[in-house]
Amino acid sequence: MAKVLAVRQIASDIYEFVVEAPKIAAKANPGQFLILRLHDRGERIPLTLKDWNSVEGSVTIVFQIVGKSTMELAKLKPGDTIKDLLGPLGHAPLAEKYGTAIVVAGGCGAAPALPRARQIKNAGNYLITILGARQEDLLVCELELNQISDELHITTDDGSKGTQGFVTTKLKELLEADRKINYVFTVGPPIMMKFVAATTKPYGVKTECSLNPIMVDGTGMCGACRVDVSGEMKFACVDGPEFDAHAVDFDLLITRLETYKDQENRALEAYKHKCAHS
């Protein structure tokens, strides 16, 4: 059992939880994730770590309500417990001194982008962050990213804050400017990462992404998280979750993410009905 220590709504339908997990906090690194199960009949869901505190023995996770499990999770209060918490999982990436690096984060991807951005900055790089969301009330980690970035650029689809448009528009503008961009890291919706990779490829800029495929066990045994990288099958939970963005088959990733949409929607509607009549 893992006790929920703090709950905060940080954007529309987006929540931040601080959870008691001393063993995970003692070994966590940027880019890693955990898998939680709320109760005996709960779904196993992967969530990337936003932060951790080895002294206090806690980890911080951020999630958006998108289905039954996350809607159920959002109902927890401080003092409530999560039955299972497994982690830290995934290959912990390293950061090099690239020169000028750009972190491109979209939606909830800003949460896992934060520790990676901090790691990249601490490696001695000039850090530019592009933070995007559909609208202002869906922006996540703006203040934290602003504190560690040499430059922070905000884009919103509707123009409610920052520049109206997509993160790729600002990214291309920076790539075409009179400066050398040495490295790009991106995390967020798969369709966003696909176009970030397509934007940087003509410029020959090393680009890495953090993938979020369907996961079950988190140890590479079930095969649910398999992704195609340079024509080879990789397991995101053990080989990743970070990969060369120019080598990832994003179309296959997106298609696989849609596999259980009907079942997910039915489960969500059944849960809503149960809540309404309980």
Q: Would you say residue 275 lies in a domain? A: no
pLDDT for 273:
81
pLDDT at 5: 98
Q: What is the predicted pLDDT for the residue at 261?
A: 87
When divided into structural domains, the chain yields a total of 2
Instruction: Label residue 114 by pLDDT band (50, 70, 90).
Output: very high
CA 198 to chain centre: 20
What are the pLDDT digits (tens) for 174-189? 999 988 999 999 999 9
Q: Domain check: are 202 and 168 in the same one?
A: yes
DSSP state of 166: -
Does 161 reside within a domain? Answer: yes
DSSP state, residue 219? S
Q: Is the pLDDT of residue 272 over 90?
A: no
Shared domain check, 220 and 123: yes
Which residues are within 8 A (CB) of 226 and not within 5 positions of it... i.e. 6 or more apart?
A: 213, 233, 234, 235, 236
- pLDDT bucket at 267, cuts 50 / 70 / 90: confident
Alpha-carbon gap, residue 80 to 76, rounded angstroms: 6
Report pLDDT for 223.
Answer: 86
Q: Is residue 267 part of a domain?
A: no
**Residue carrying the six token digits 């955990």:** 34
| Mean of pLDDT over the chain | 94
Place of tokens 């009905």: 273
Among the listed ranges 4-8, 19-23, 72-76, 265-269, which one has the minimum average pLDDT value? 265-269
Are residue 39 and residue 73 in the same domain, yes or no? yes
CATH number at residue 74: 2.40.30.10
- Model confidence at 274, pLDDT cuts 50, 70, 90, reads confident
Q: Is 278 contained in some domain?
A: no
The token duo for 27 is: 């070994």
Total H helices, total E strands in the chain = 9, 16
Query: Looking at the whole model, is its pTM more than 0.85?
Result: yes
Residues 106 and 228 in one domain: yes
Percentage of residues in the chain with pLDDT exceeding 90? 83
Rounded Cα distance, 276 and 85, in Å: 29
Residues 81 and 197 in one domain: no
What CATH number should be reported for the domain holding residue 232?
A: 3.40.50.80
What confidence score (pLDDT) does residue 220 get?
A: 81
Q: Mark whether 156 and 209 lie in a shared domain.
A: yes
Q: In angstroms, rounded to a whole number, what is the distance separating the alpha carbons of residues 161 and 216? A: 37
Domain co-membership, 129 together with 175: yes
Instruction: Determine the pLDDT at residue 61.
Output: 97
Residue 254 CA to residue 197 CA, distance in Å, equals 15
- Asked whether residue 113 is assigned to any structural domain, the reply reads yes
Indicate whether 105 and 74 sit together in one domain: no
The residues, ordered by sequence, that sit 6+ positions from 196 with a Cβ below 8 Å of its Cβ are 104, 167, 168, 171, 184, 186, 207, 209, 245
Domain interval for residue 180: 100-257
Structure confidence at residue 167 (pLDDT): 97
Q: What distances in angstroms separate CA 111 from CA 148, 160, 175, 181, 266, one per listed residue?
A: 14, 21, 24, 23, 28
**Looking at residue 156, what is its pLDDT?**
96
d(CA 179, CA 66): 39
CA atoms 267, 217, 36, 208: torsion sign: negative
Q: Is residue 269 part of a domain?
A: no
Question: pLDDT digits over 223-262, tens only?
Answer: 889 999 999 999 999 999 999 999 999 999 999 999 888 8
pLDDT at 278 over 80: no
Instruction: Give pLDDT tens digits for 121-137.
Output: 999 999 999 999 999 99
What is residue 184's predicted lDDT score, i.e. its pLDDT? Answer: 98
The residue out of 89, 111, 144 marking a domain boundary is: 89
Q: End-to-end alpha-carbon separation of the chain, Å?
A: 26
